[in-house]
Amino acid sequence: MTGITGPDARPAARDRVLLAFCAVAVAFAAVDTYVVVLALPDMMAGVGIPVDELQRAAPIVSGFLLGYVAMLPLIGRIADLRGQVPVLAMSLVLFSIGSLVTATCYDLPSMVVGRFLQGVGGGGLVPATMSLVAALYPVERRGLPLGLVSAVQEFGSVLGPLFGAMVLSFTSWRGIFAINLAGGAALLVAVGLLVRHRSPGAEEVAPRASRDRRTLLARVIAVVLLTATVVTGLVTFLQPSDLQRDLTWGQLFIPYVDGGSRWITPIGVATIGCALALALWCWFLPRALVDLRGWLGHLVAADLLGAALLATVLGGVVLAFATADPEVAVFSRQGPWFLAGSALALVLLLLHLRRAADPIVPRGALAATPAWGSLLVSFLVGWALIAALVDIPLFARTTTERDSQLGAALVLLRFLAALPIGAVLGGWLLQRVPAGVLTAVGMGSASLSFLLMVQWDQHSLDGFASNLPLVLGGFGFGLALAPVNAAILASTDDDTHGLASALVVVARMVGMLVGISALTTIGLRRLYAAQASHPDLDLRELGIVQEHAVFVGASVAALAAGVLALVVFARAGTRGVDTAKVLRAAG
């Protein structure tokens, strides 16, 4: 990649197109975050879980979140070491593989594995794309592209239920993940073509590679092994009934051990053998398909032990809150054990960070106040944002849209329509207004919007006036997204931008997990108190009481985020004129 030499310098047109494709990939993965909202009952039925045993489906949701949140710091650190584009490509590969596994899954474990891989791949796109922005743009020009990426990420995440509803109207839940597979593969090809044309010396290297017969033969064999793995794997997963009933082909599905799983059948063993052969082939011949040894080297260089400890810390938090039943407690019955494990892992992580030569979080990387402050602000933003994403449509279902999930989603769409507008405007204003002021104005607007929602009654959504808090809230959240990302990028070294971007996303996701659990618990307790003191209230009125309590809690969190941003972003150099050194992006 060519460097940026001055404040007016702009990335080449091909680099801007690459960034646009990366933003599309981020939106595509964000849609997948919430796509199971409507499809979950059908997905449960698809793996044999009764609808009345919803608690057994918790791993479907928590598996994705675990992959998304717990692996983000490691992926962000690898992006700093290896380059953003290779990490983007590998993230798309994992997302596509996860989509394939989910679309063809046959039981709960295989579905959870698929969702976990989707989470890892989808989550990896965010820090790599944010870091790519830092590589392509100097400090004073990062605001607008950061605002655009933030806008598509947040807008995409809440379009997930709408996308799921649209696909479910003409096909099964498996079609959702088949579309994900096709989209992920198409984006991977597009990014690969752009990188091939922009990489230095690609024109000179390609002819030599094509003339190298051994390399060509190695690639052909790798493709054959990959094809064999995919085909035998699909047959193992799907077990077509026509083949099973055939006298000859049916023997492929008979386990070697009575009562054994499908993986110890001839076709299952063939799948495992092809996969191992492919892995060994790529290990000893890295140019054949994937440089496995190179990726392992970067995993080790990224501090694999530290990453494992950090993933354990985050994983315990995710499992404690993602599996909670808000009617009982803020976190699940096993939550105290999960949090105890997180606490122990945190102690070990802090000791490791002090002693490791090259830890996953470099010493002093987050020492600047705007750096660690961004994480706290992002946590509070997530806490407040989840109330809008979940409880605005829930309020609609309680009042005016009792029989229409689509109608409730369209109410939320008014909020969503304003969010990207605020995000883009916030990015543009970063060149003129301090990050702290922008964040405070945005979160102040969000706080005010929640207070206006507290005044809603069962007929409010029928009137035009209900649009004011919805638009004000969406605009306010959007306005605050880019300044938070810009503050941490401007306050950290260039070689830690991937990690910093990942941690901002992790903080927001954890805030959303903790926030939805805590706010729902508060709302339910307010409901029970109202029911005890006013037994004449009907279910609709009690539901409104609950939602009002949630909106009040979200308003407090949003206001706290704005006030904190004014303090911690006071010295964030988001309007500086120093040019960032270009990061390794071609790989």
CA dist list (Å): 64 to 25, 116, 119, 420, 509: 17, 5, 5, 25, 12
Q: Judge if 398 and 428 occupy the same domain.
A: yes
Distances 338 to 68, 330, 582 between C-alpha atoms, Å = 18, 13, 40
Q: Please state which of the ranges 22-31, 385-394, 504-513 shows the lowest mean pLDDT.
A: 22-31
Highest average pLDDT, of 181-190, 199-208, 259-268, 440-449, comes from 440-449
Q: In this structure, is residue 184 part of a structural domain?
A: yes
Is residue 2 pLDDT above 50, yes or no? no
Tens digits of residue pLDDT in 171-206: 888 888 888 888 888 888 887 777 665 444 444 444
pLDDT tens digits, one per residue of 519-532 = 888 888 888 888 88
Per-residue confidence (pLDDT) for residue 582, from 0 to 100: 25
Q: What is the pLDDT of residues 223-258, one digit of tens each?
A: 999 999 999 999 998 888 888 888 888 888 888 888
Instruction: Quote the mean pLDDT of the chain.
Output: 81
Query: Residue 405 has what pLDDT?
Result: 65
pLDDT at site 210: 47
| Same domain, yes or no: 339 and 424 | no
- The answer to whether position 291 is within a domain reads no
405: in domain: yes
| Close Cβ partners of 89 (under 8 Å, ≥ 6 residues apart) | 188, 191, 192, 195
What pLDDT does 580 receive? 33
* 574 inside domain: no
Nearest one of 157, 181, 170 to 37, comparing CA atoms: 157
- Determine the average pLDDT of the residues in 135-148: 69
Q: At 154, is the pLDDT very low, low, confident or very high (cuts 50, 70, 90)?
A: low
Q: Give the C-alpha separation, 276 to 282, whole Å.
A: 10
Give yes or no for a contact between 393 and 411, defined as CB atoms under 8 angstroms apart: yes
Q: Which residues of 128-145 are buried (b: 16+ CB within 10 A; e: fewer)?
A: bbbbbbbbbbbbbbbbbb
Q: Is there a domain that residue 289 lies in?
A: no
pLDDT tens digit string along 8-59? 455 567 677 777 777 787 777 777 776 776 677 788 888 887 765 656 677 7
Q: In angstroms, what CA-CA distances link 431 with 139, 152, 320, 438, 578?
A: 9, 21, 40, 11, 13
Ranges 151-155, 405-409, 549-553, most confident: 549-553
Mapped onto helix, strand or coil, the DSSP state of residue 363 is coil
Tell whether 131 and 252 lie within a shared domain: no
**How far is 493 from 489, CA to CA, in rounded Å?**
8
- In sequence order, what are the residues at sequence separation of 6 or more whose Cβ sits closer than 8 angstroms to the Cβ of residue 132? 18, 19, 22, 84, 85, 88, 583, 585
User: In the prediction, which pLDDT does 328 show?
Assistant: 55
pLDDT bucket at 157, cuts 50 / 70 / 90 = low
Query: What are 119-135's pLDDT values in tens digits?
Result: 888 878 877 777 777 67
CATH number at residue 55: 1.20.1250.20
Residue 575 pLDDT class (50, 70, 90 cuts): low
Any domain includes 586: no
> Region 283-309: what's the mean pLDDT?
83
Q: Is the per-residue pLDDT at 410 higher than 90?
A: no
pLDDT, one tens digit per residue, over 535-553 is: 888 878 888 888 899 999 9
Q: What is the mean pLDDT of residues 563-575?
A: 84
Query: Is residue 154 in a domain?
Result: yes
pLDDT in tens, 368-378: 899 899 999 99
CA-closest candidate to residue 295, choices 308, 282, 312: 282
- Predicted confidence (pLDDT) per residue in 330-371, tens digit: 666 777 888 899 999 999 999 998 888 888 888 888 888 998
- Which run of H or of E encompasses 565? helix 539-568
Claim to verify: residue 26 and residue 120 sit in the same structural domain = yes
Asked if pLDDT for residue 554 goes beyond 70, the answer is yes
Q: What is the Cα–Cα distance from 35 to 540, expressed in whole angstroms?
A: 27
Regarding whether 317 and 271 lie in a shared domain, the answer is: no
Specify the 3-state DSSP secondary structure of 586: coil
Long-range contacts of 471-474 (CB under 8 A, 24+ apart): 471/414, 471/415, 471/417, 471/418, 472/418, 472/445, 472/446, 472/448, 473/388, 473/415, 473/418, 473/445, 473/446, 473/449, 474/388, 474/414, 474/415, 474/416, 474/417, 474/418, 474/419, 474/422
- Same structural domain for residues 355 and 425? no
Same domain, 346 and 402: no
Residue 582 lies in a domain: no
- Same domain assignment for residues 373 and 352: no
Tell me the average pLDDT across 149-174: 74
Q: How many domains does the chain have?
A: 3
Last residue of a domain, one of 334, 359, 384: 359
Q: Are 483 and 430 in contact (CB under 8 A)?
A: yes
The domain in which residue 246 lies consists of 213-284
Same domain for 389 and 508, yes or no, is: yes
Q: For position 277, what pLDDT does the model report?
A: 94
| Boundary of a domain, candidates 314, 342, 359 | 359
Check whether residue 191 and residue 59 sit in a common domain: yes
> What average pLDDT does the segment 475-500 reach?
85
366 and 350 assigned to the same domain: no
Q: How far apart are CA 98 and CA 114, in angstroms?
A: 4
pLDDT band per the 50, 70, 90 thresholds, residue 7 = very low
Q: Is the pLDDT of residue 113 over 80?
A: yes
pLDDT digits (tens, 9 = 90+) for 58-82: 778 778 888 888 788 888 888 777 7
Nearest to 86 by CA among 177, 164, 195: 195
pLDDT at residue number 202: 41
Same domain, 458 and 405: yes
